[in-house]
Amino acid sequence: MSFDVITIYYIFLVLLVFDFLIWVFLEYLNKTRWNDELPVELSEIYDEEKYKKSMSYEREKYVFSKFSNIFSSALIFIFVLFWFFWKIFDYIISFWFWEFFSTLLFFLVLFLAQSFVNLPFSYYYTFVIEQKYWFNKMDKKLFFQDFIKSLILTIIIWWILLSIIILIYFFAWKYFWILAWALMVWFSTFMLMFYSSLIVPIFNKQTPLENWSLREKIEDFAKKVGFRLDNIFVIDWSKRSTKANAYFSGLWPKKRIVLFDTLISDLTDEELVWVLAHEIGHYKKKHTLQMLIFSIIQTGIIFYVLWIVLNYTEFSLALGSNSWSFALWVIAFSIIFSPLSLIFGVLWNIFSRKNEYEADEFAGKNHNLEDLKTSLIKLSKNNLSNLRPHPLYEFFYYSHPTLLKRLDVLDKIKN
Ligand SMILES: [Zn+2]
């Protein structure tokens, strides 16, 4: 089979436009659901004033994402259209001869460029939008500290992984996709286990719940469902934001539930027990393990497709190059992969929403339903969540079911 280079070049451009248009279409649908009057179904959750506030928050976030998305999509389009990816790579390799280092340097340049291009956007989002709605608690020093820290961290981790992948490409081409896959499986399992103990402390402080006064309230419940209390931590989220949340992470001995300190100040102790019950539900139903398996399958498919694509020089040529190169192939691959990643994203969200229902159900069966409902309502309200997304928008982008759906399902649980 052979491909026409010009055709591939146009396919690249079409795919980029397609990707952008899907987003435009879904945003448009979602906008049709905006309403200035308080909708009847939300009258028990929002009052008139709070609802207006949530709508204007929604609008500002929309305008922001419109600008940032148009900007980044246009940038990538122009890069492909005028062969800029190749020109940058060609420039680097012209004075840094060995392809191994040139490739690493190429991706470093792209990553740094992307990070610094995004910086003003995230600065605006934090200090203008989040600030206006009283969500932001960061000062500028913390913002830039975070930026530098995550920049360095990402570069270190990705350089190690990328170096190994490039070496596999050079020296074990026949087994490329299997070996690269194995590496990523090892890496994601390792990260899932040690993320909380290695990465989180770089940004936040986690205190065992034992030091907090609500320990006693939670102890009985944790005992009842067989979850050890020393696996529960409180994170100092309030130094960044007033938004509240909780999550379950890790595998086997490294499992932990992390409660935001903002959550503790927002909810009553009884409601907190519910949040905990929900997170323990994720653990009991083995959701992290399921998600890991899902992402392992996904990574396997990614590397298999990459391996197939890498067999054709034409993909590299379509980006302007006059010979084959690993760096340009990766770029070509990421463009071809975008429709597939949209599908993966949807599957991931369907899976995640199913898990949320299951965790709610576990909590509902083991704890007072009323606390459950009031805490869900409180959290959505405090975070100014959009509770009426368009169903298709929700289908594509929401990792959690909307509040109304969750309340509906809870109503059906009989203790
Ligand atoms: Zn959950």
**pLDDT digits over 196-242, tens only?**
888 889 998 988 876 566 777 777 777 888 877 777 888 888 888 88
Give residue 165 CA to ligand 1 midpoint distance, Å: 34
Q: Is 50 exceeded by the pLDDT of residue 307?
A: yes
- Is the pLDDT assigned to residue 158 strictly greater than 50? yes
The pTM score is 0.85
- Token pair 């009847």 is found at 40
Active site annotation includes 261: no
Q: Find residue 206's DSSP bridge partners.
A: 235
CA of 199 from ligand 1 middle (Å) equals 21
Cα 68 to ligand 1 centroid, rounded to whole Å: 29
pLDDT value of residue 414: 62
Which of 130, 261, 360, 394 is labelled catalytic? 360
Smallest CA-to-CA distance from 151 within 122, 108, 198 is with 108
Give yes or no for residue 82 having a pLDDT over 60.
yes
- The type of residue at 275 is V
For residue 43, the Cα-to-chain-centroid distance in whole angstroms is 31
CA 68 to chain centre: 17
CA distances from 315 to 5, 8, 10, 78, 331 (A): 7, 7, 11, 17, 9
How far apart (Å, rounded) are the C-alpha atoms in residues 294 and 347? 10
State the distance from the centre of ligand 1 to the C-alpha of 278, rounded, in angstroms: 6
**Strand-pair category, 256-260 with 232-235:** parallel
Residue 184 alpha carbon to ligand 1 centre in Å: 25
DSSP for residue 361: H
Distance 236 CA to ligand 1 centre (A): 20
Q: What does the DSSP assignment read for 137-151?
A: ---HHHHHHHHHHHH
Token pair in block for residue 17 = 């436009």
Percent of the chain whose pLDDT exceeds 90 = 40
How many other CB atoms sit within 10 Å of the CB of residue 42?
Answer: 19
C-beta separation of 61 from 132 below 8 A: no
356-394 burial string, b = 16+ CB within 10 Å, else e?
bbbbbbbbbebbbbebbbbbbbbbbbbbbbbbbbbeebb
- Per-residue pLDDT of 357-388, as tens digits, reads 999 998 888 877 888 888 888 888 888 888 88
**Which uninterrupted H or E stretch holds 373?**
helix 369-382
pLDDT of residue 1: 44
Q: Which residues pair with 208 in a beta bridge?
A: 233
Question: Cβ distance 38 to 51 under 8 Å?
Answer: yes
Catalytic residue among 130, 261, 271, 279, which? Answer: 279
Active site residue 146: no
Residue 194: phi and psi, rounded to 5, are: -110, 5
pLDDT digits (tens, 9 = 90+) for 19-68: 999 999 999 998 988 888 888 877 877 788 888 888 889 899 999 999 99
CA distances from 201 to 204, 235, 242, 311, 386 (A): 5, 10, 20, 42, 31
Torsion of CA 60, 63, 64, 67, to 10 degrees: -170
Residue written as token pair 């419940």: 221
Q: Distance between CA 269 and CA 371 in Å, rounded?
A: 10
pLDDT of 412 strictly over 70: yes
Stretch 142-164: mean pLDDT: 94
Phi/psi at 322 (5° precision): -105, 5
Question: Contact at 8 Å (CB) between 327 and 89?
Answer: yes
pLDDT tens per residue across span 269-301: 888 888 888 888 888 899 988 999 999 999 999
Phi first, then psi, for residue 258 (nearest 5°) are -115, 120
Closest-CA residue to 400 (of 343, 342, 365, 348)? 348
Instruction: Please state, in angstroms and rounded to a whole number, the distance separating the CA atoms of residues 222 and 235.
Output: 19
Tokens of 313: 């020089």
Centroid of ligand 1 to alpha carbon of 293 (angstroms):
18
